[in-house]
Copies of this chain bind each other. A is one copy, B any other.
Amino acid sequence: MKRVLLAAALLAACAANAQEKIDLEMTGRIRAEAFNRSQVMKTLGELTEDVGPRLTGSPGMTRANAWARGKFDGWGLANVRDESMGSFGRGWEFSDASVAMLSPRAFPLHVLPKAWTPGTNGAVDGDAILAKLESKADLDKFKGKLRGKIVLSSDPRAYKFGDKPDMERYTDQELHDLIGVEVPADREGGDRAAMIKRFKDRSEFGPLLNQFLVDEGVLATIGISGRDNGILAVQGGGSRKAGESVGVPALVMGAEQYNMLARTLGKDGTVRLRVNVAARFTDAADQPAYNTIAEIPGTGPHRDEVVMLGAHMDSWHAGTGASDNGAGVAVVMEAMRILKAVGAKPDRTIRVALWTGEEQGLLGSAAYVGEHFARYPEPTDPEQKAIPAFLRQDKGKLVRAGGYDKLAAYFNLDNGSGKIRGIYAQENMAVAPIFEDWLKPWNDVGATIVTQQNTGSTDHISFDRVGLPGFQFVQDGLDYFSNVHHTDLDTYDHASAQDLKQASAIMASFVYNAAMRPQKLPRKPLAD
């Protein structure tokens, strides 16, 4: 069979220069459906405002799984199902949270609770105290001094006037610059050791702090929001794991109001607050969390191969998870709807995944990839086991599952609701000219560039790190980082309908092209 192998090798070598064959008639149908009969905002509205926020493992996320299955069933997709990512932790939800200053003035303060922290069981009153608790030495220092207190746990932070517009779009020059790649510098030797130490210190200190706060009788903690202008940026606290201390009610307050409390404390030493948080853990024991999956089955000779698209459906709880990542979910769902609506009969099977647990470390997609495609073995060394995968010295040898050779590509969307301006090729040299061709029909709506830059921090990485071709698109930022990322402003209004229509069209088109291409997309060499 040497000749066949040689022919395949030659074909691969030439792929960079061959023009991709694109079904422009189908591309036009996709475009018309996406632009003129869009349901992307309807889908996003249902997800964010009927279902609401979707913290991993929460009743909201369970509602979202059911809602998504219902939508997929309604659109006639096949193999609609939830797949467990394994044990996640306990569910948590909140319904109300308030802090009021009682003295020296009476005034309501704007707060939201950190996920996986307890409620107050009604209103509790206490004096505020500034106490940064970031080390064992801090705990020693404040031991015996915090009973009945409400701990302000952050440093105040000077306000910074916004000198750039909230809204960002790539200029032509910026897009051009984004194609440039910086050659890696040598890593300094101490890097990994220092990161491991920091990780271990943090993992040890968290539970210690939670128990300390409970033992010392602290009523609640309040931290400063990471954003100015009253925006509340909120993530998790306490613990989601059954059997671990969840600490005490923990809140995030707008920076301006937090600074005011800190200054008032600094002046006369007494600030009395009333805290009221209605929050609850919805499970006694750790529970699994679920990805929702659906398919358009392939009908051609490669029907056993799969093109995947996905976005994470879990969100934080401060807003309604519209840009992070309701937008991505609405787009990949809309891409599936479009493909059904235009009567696509793909060669390969097209499979959409709405991931869970992305915000806690790409958990849903990583579990899925491990189960269906490939995974690195769990280390047996307890030292290595205790640190996250990306910090381990030796990843071990990749364990491939049956689906590994069958995945043609994975496309992800998770950088807000901004339109697609191109795609990150993730150092996959062979895929670049293919994507350039695929983008051509979308150049006129602003999607133009292929960059070899790696982008991280979302679910395509679960594919990329086992050598599978997983990609995230380049998207305009809009107000993702100025306003909405993990904040109470991550709501429907901050999503851009025009941008999401464009992204839906391109997502459907890329997926369709990947499903119809004679070969699967080329993979980059795996350092295994």
A interface, CB within 8 angstroms of B = 45, 49-50, 52, 95-98, 100, 104-108, 110, 112, 158-159, 161-167, 228-231, 255-257, 259-260, 263-264, 267, 278, 320, 478-479, 482-483, 488-489, 491-494, 496
Contacts and interface: CB of A to CB of B under 8 A. Distances in A.
Given A165-B162, A166-B161, A230-B230, A256 B106 contact: no
Q: Which of A104, A110, A158, A256 has the most CB of B within 10 A?
A: A256
23 contacts: A52-B105, A52-B107, A95-B100, A96-B98, A96-B100, A96-B107, A98-B98, A108-B112, A110-B110, A158-B493, A161-B167, A161-B496, A162-B479, A162-B482, A229-B229, A229-B489, A230-B231, A230-B488, A230-B489, A255-B493, A256-B491, A256-B493, A259-B492
A120 to B, nearest CB: 14
B229 A260 contact: no
A317 to B, nearest CB: 9
Nearest to A483: B229
B108 A98 contact: yes
Contacts of A478: 161
B108 A45 contact: no
A336 B162 CA distance: 32
A472 to B, nearest CB: 22
Contacts of A97: 108
A125 B374 CA distance: 53
Contacts of A165: 162-165
A263 B52 contact: no
Count the copies: 2
Contacts of A482: 162
A491 B96 contact: no
Contacts of A255: 493
A330 B129 CA distance: 29
B263 A45 contact: yes
A256 to B, nearest CB: 5
A419 to B, nearest CB: 13
A320 B264 CA distance: 13
Contacts of A257: 491
Q: Which of A52, A95, A260, A493 has the most CB of B within 10 A?
A: A493
A93 to B, nearest CB: 8
Contacts of A45: 263
A259 B49 CA distance: 11
A281 to B, nearest CB: 15
A61 to B, nearest CB: 13
Q: 4 smallest A-B Cβ distances: which pairs?
A: A162-B166, A95-B106, A159-B493, A161-B167
Nearest to A259: B493
Contacts of A158: 493
Nearest to A102: B95
